[in-house]
Amino acid sequence: MLTKRIIACLDVRGGRVVKGIQFVDIVDAGDPAELAHRHAAAGADEIVLLDITATHEGRGTLLDTVKRTAASLFVPFTVGGGIRSAEDAAAVFDAGADKVSINSSAIARPELIGEIGSSFGAQAVIVAIDARRGEHGVEDAEVYVSGGRKATGLRVVDWAREAEQRGAGEILLTSMDTDGMRNGFDCELTRRVSEAVQIPVIASGGAGSAAHFAEVFKAGKADAALAASIFHFGITDSRALKAEVAAAGVPMRLPC
């Protein structure tokens, strides 16, 4: 049976893993390569490394960090941040990434989705969407770019559909409203996006307990869920988390 994925996310700045609350207030959480391996060994189904400052500071992705992290990692490994062209993506793949996650650059130039997909396959392209609910709540949830700094005027569901049509392999949906709060994912928004597209949707933002994961898989219809802060400070490890989520009736990769 196809299981739901638990993805450990490493937000990286300046070669260190950091974690913010609602995209600001950064605290240091360690070395990316070391944490990635620890997560994989602890049962994470996948690792995502996001260079969270790459876009607005105009830096390229930290290829050395990627290389070091990928060296002996044998679960899927995604890298995002500062990927603006098919060449940027190629360098990241060359360093050992399996997928790239593109966000602001896909909004700026949607053709980029297809360009990367045609060389490396659709499965290698994740379109990340940072979303915030609007005046009318989930109905007019809007896409934000540049690390959540700029509103685009695009509706989340519309952009998710377009990304799929342009050849995205997965959608990584982060709710800026719930991010870092540990009060649970935005299940309603996740469900709307998941029902609007055929491709897998990864829910992100707000993980605080196993119950939150179970909820976003069931009510939110997410195919995968991502968390960063929940793991880094020893709150839980993936194996313990997965056992709890499985006990709530969600198929998980266990033992792992």
Partner 1 sequence: MIAVIDYKAGNLTSVVKALRHLGADDIVVTQKPEDVLRADKIVLPGVGHFQSTQLLADLGLTQATREAVAKGTPFLGICVGLQWLYVGSTEAPETAGLGHFSGQCERFPAVFEGAELKSPHVGWNSLENVREDSRLLAGVTPGSFVYYTHSWRAPVSPDTAAATLYGGAFTAAVERDNVMGVQFHPEKSAETGLRVLKNFLAL
**Residues of the shown chain interacting with partner 1 in the complex, contacts defined by CB under 8 A:** 1-5, 40, 45, 70-72, 74-76, 93-96, 98, 119-124, 169-170, 198-200, 223-224, 253, 256
**Least distance in angstroms from the C-beta of 214 to partner 1:** 17
Beta carbon nearer to partner 1, 156 or 225: 225
- Asked if 28 is an active-site residue, the reply is no
Q: What is the 3-state secondary structure (H, E, C) of 121-189?
A: CHHHEEEEEEEEEECCEEEEEEEEECCCCEEEEEEHHHHHHHHHHCCCCEEEEEECCCCCCCCCCCHHH
**Least distance in angstroms from the C-beta of 58 to partner 1:** 26
- Asked if 11 is an active-site residue, the reply is yes
Beta carbon nearer to partner 1, 2 or 24: 2
Beta carbon nearer to partner 1, 102 or 124: 124
Active-site residue among 11, 51, 98, 177? 11
Active-site residue among 45, 98, 130, 177? 130
> Treating both helix axes as pointing N-terminal to C-terminal, what angle do 86-94 and 63-70 enclose, rounded to 10 degrees?
40
**Least distance in angstroms from the C-beta of 90 to partner 1:** 8
Beta carbon nearer to partner 1, 27 or 71: 71
Where in the sequence numbering do the catalytic residues fall? 11, 130
